[in-house]
Amino acid sequence: MPIARPSTLDGALDALASLPGADLLAGGTDLMVAITHRAHRPRDVVALRRIAELDRIEVTDTHLTLGALVRWSTMAADLTELAPGLAMAARSVGSPQIRNAGTLGGNLATASPAGDALPWLVALEAEVELASPAGTRTVAIADWLTGPKRNARADDEIVTAVRVPRTDGPQHVAKVGPRNAMVIAVASVALVLDRTARRVRVGLGSVGPTALAAPEAAAEAGAAIDWDALTCPEDAIERFAAGVAAAARPIDDHRASADYRRHVVGVLAGRTLRRCLAA
C-alpha cells in the first residue's frame, strides 16, 4: 500500500518504518509542486494531516511549543500576541489558499533558504522536536538547517513540533520580493527585542544557504540600546544594518543578485530595528 493515512503519531512512525524512504506529506504546498513538476517522484507517502496531536499550540510561562501541523493561517490569526514576529511572517506567506494548507513543520522540513518562518526561529534559537521509534530528540535550529533544502532529519524521524522561548518585547519581520502577495523572499529579516535578557535577536532569510543568525551585529546593537527607554542611537542602528549585511552570505540567482540581497538585508535590518524601537 503506497499511502498511509495515520491518525496518531505512533501510527505515523509505524507507517514510516514499514515504508522506508516514504515522503512525509503535511500541507502539500511544497511536495505537490515538486511532484507535479517532476522534480520528485513519490514511491510511498505517509500523510500526516489527520494527526491531531501535531496540530497544537502549547504555552508555558517560559516557552511556546508549536506543533508541526500548525498552519500559516492559524499562526497569522492566533499568534499575534504570543509570537507577533511569526504571525507577521505567516501573513506574508503565499495566498489565503496556501496559508490554509502549508504548515510550520513543512517549512522546517523543506528547509528552503527562503522559508518564511525560519529567520524568526533562528532569531529565537528554536529547538526542533523529532520523534522516531527509538524515542524523541531535539535539535537546535542552527544544527537542523544543514544546507539549502537540507536538514538533519534521520530517515525514521518525524518533526513533531518546534519550541521557542517566550520573550518580552517588540518583534518585527520584514520581507522583500517583487510584489506583495505570493512572493518568495529575495531577502528577509526577523528581529526580536528581548527585554528580559536585554538581547537583540535576529535571523536572516534568503541571503545564505540556510536562514542565518548575525550574532556579532546583534550583540553590538544590544549593547547600544537603552533597554529601559527602548531607544538606540542612530549611528548604532546604521552599524547594525551594516553588520547584518556583512553577516549575509548571499548568492546570485534568478530572483536577485548577491549584491542586491546584501544591500536589501541591511536595509531591512535597520528598518526592523526602527520599527521595534517605535513600537
Partner 1 sequence: MSAPADERVPGDAAVPESEAYTLTVNGRPHAVPSAWIGASLLQVLRRELALPGAKDACEQGECGSCTVLMDGVVVDACCVLAADAVDADVRTIEGLGDAAVPTDVQRAFVAAGAVQCGFCTPGLVVAVHDLLERSPEADTAAVREALSGNLCRCTGYGRILAAVADVQRERAGRTARADGDADRASRTGDEGGAA
Interface with partner 1, residue 2, by CB under 8 A: yes
Place of cell 536589501: 264
Distance CA 124, CA 190 (A): 9
Per DSSP, the three-state class of 230 is: coil
Given candidates 96, 147, 148, 233, which one binds partner 1 under the rule CB under 8 A?
Answer: 96
Interface with partner 1, residue 52, by CB under 8 A: no
Report the amino acid identity of residue 173.
Answer: V
Residue 47 vs 122, nearer CB to partner 1: 47
Interface with partner 1, residue 59, by CB under 8 A: no
Given candidates 49, 163, 255, 274, which one binds partner 1 under the rule CB under 8 A?
Answer: 49
Closest separation between CB of residue 165 and partner 1, Å? 31
Given candidates 31, 114, 193, 202, which one binds partner 1 under the rule CB under 8 A?
Answer: 31
Interface with partner 1, residue 87, by CB under 8 A: no
Distance CA 250, CA 246 (A): 10
Closest separation between CB of residue 243 and partner 1, Å? 35
Alpha carbon distance, N-terminus to C-terminus of the chain? 54
Interface with partner 1, residue 146, by CB under 8 A: no
Residue 31 vs 232, nearer CB to partner 1: 31
Interface with partner 1, residue 36, by CB under 8 A: yes
Torsion sign (Cα): 138, 139, 141, 145: negative
Residue 164 CB: number of other CB atoms within 10 A?
22
Distance CA 264, CA 242 (A): 11
Interface with partner 1, residue 181, by CB under 8 A: yes
Interface with partner 1, residue 19, by CB under 8 A: no
Per DSSP, the three-state class of 276 is: helix
Longest dimension (CA), the chain: 63
Judged by the rule CB under 8 A, the positions of this chain that interact with partner 1 are 1-3, 5, 25, 27-29, 31-33, 35-38, 41-43, 45, 47, 49-50, 73, 94-98, 100-101, 180-182
